[in-house]
Amino acid sequence: MAARFLVRLAGIAVVCIPGLARAYPGGTPDYQTDAAPYCAACHSSVTTSELEGAPGDRATKELVANKHIAQILAGAPNTGYAELSETERQALADQIRAIDAASKVRIQVPAQVSPGQVFEVEVTFTGGDGPVAGLALVDAAHRWYARPASSAGWQIVDVPIVRSGVMGSPDDPTKPADPLQLTWLDKRPAALGRNLSYVNVGGIKSSVDRQSYATGSVLWKVKAPAQPGTYPLAAAYFYGTELATPLGYKVDPKDPLKRAAPRGGFTGASGRVVFTALQQITVAQ
């Protein structure tokens, strides 16, 4: 199923906005490298704290309610939302709220490690519409200022271990690494190192109608800085919403493959970037 979505999106991307749409939505199918959250400019936020310090009302404008749901409710001109009736737009807004409520991310880290110690950081997530979810280790819970975790001195020492499946299904929670995920990491030449702080996690599929939500985790092996001190670490979670809802996607009737595209379009605000709480880890002997 997830594979079908991937194929659909990849196909659409070729037809629309070349270059741009090849990468978004669908995360970063072609780019196997560390990502920083500033890249997700089209995405919406669930809190203003993640844009603290942004000028004027910019942080408020980025909120889901203002950037995404308001467009739906208003049936904004030149968007797929304008084709829906008012009742349908209300229903879509409710469906989007449901996928957002089901989409969460959590980070588990030790409170203290020794200088140079290799330890595990586990990030678990739920929800997201699929076909992929994006997870990154960063040094701040901020859309504009966060850097890949390595900039703060954390070294990713191994290929991240990824699991994904559907909550409550037989493949939850210990399904082995998803084949799509392996394909994504495998696209990066081994000689460059696949110890990335960002991963596009495949095998993601959620349905608001069926109340069936994806879940997964990424396990990173991280080496602490050599210098004692207190170092910040957080996870960023990039996910989409519209493909998980019955009203949130469109299928081009002329498309023989009947591929789905988000109703808000490739430059719409149906993506999200959210963060875990910022962790302060003590590095001491």
Q: What residues line the site for ligand HEC (CB under 6 A)? A: 20, 24-28, 35, 39-43, 129, 132-134, 238-243, 262, 266-268, 270-271
Rounded to a whole number of angstroms, the minimum distance from the CB of residue 56 to ligand HEC is 21
C-beta of 27 vs 80, nearer to ligand HEC: 27
C-beta of 67 vs 223, nearer to ligand HEC: 67
Q: Which residues lie closer than 8 Å to 101 by C-beta, 6 or more apart?
A: none
Rounded to a whole number of angstroms, the minimum distance from the CB of residue 244 to ligand HEC is 8
Rounded to a whole number of angstroms, the minimum distance from the CB of residue 224 to ligand HEC is 26
CA distance 269 to 265: 8
Encoded tokens for 63: 């909120």
CA distance 165 to 256: 29
C-beta of 250 vs 282, nearer to ligand HEC: 250
C-beta of 154 vs 237, nearer to ligand HEC: 237
Go through 42-64 and write b for each residue having 16 or more CB atoms within 10 A of its CB, e for each that does not. bbbbbeeebbeebeeeebeebbb
Rounded to a whole number of angstroms, the minimum distance from the CB of residue 117 to ligand HEC is 29
C-beta atoms surrounding 15 within 10 Å = 13
CA distance 92 to 246: 8
Encoded tokens for 218: 């990424």
C-beta of 5 vs 231, nearer to ligand HEC: 5
C-beta of 232 vs 248, nearer to ligand HEC: 248
Rounded to a whole number of angstroms, the minimum distance from the CB of residue 64 to ligand HEC is 12
Q: Any idea which residue has 């997830």 for tokens?
A: 2
C-beta of 238 vs 275, nearer to ligand HEC: 238
Structural contact between residues 113 and 281, judged by C-beta atoms closer than 8 angstroms: yes
Q: Which long-range contacts (CB under 8 A, 24 or more apart) does 190-196 make?
A: 194/32, 194/159, 195/156, 195/157, 195/158, 195/159, 195/160, 196/32, 196/33, 196/34, 196/156, 196/159, 196/160
The CB-nearest residue to ligand HEC is 240
Rounded to a whole number of angstroms, the minimum distance from the CB of residue 116 to ligand HEC is 30
Rounded to a whole number of angstroms, the minimum distance from the CB of residue 175 to ligand HEC is 19
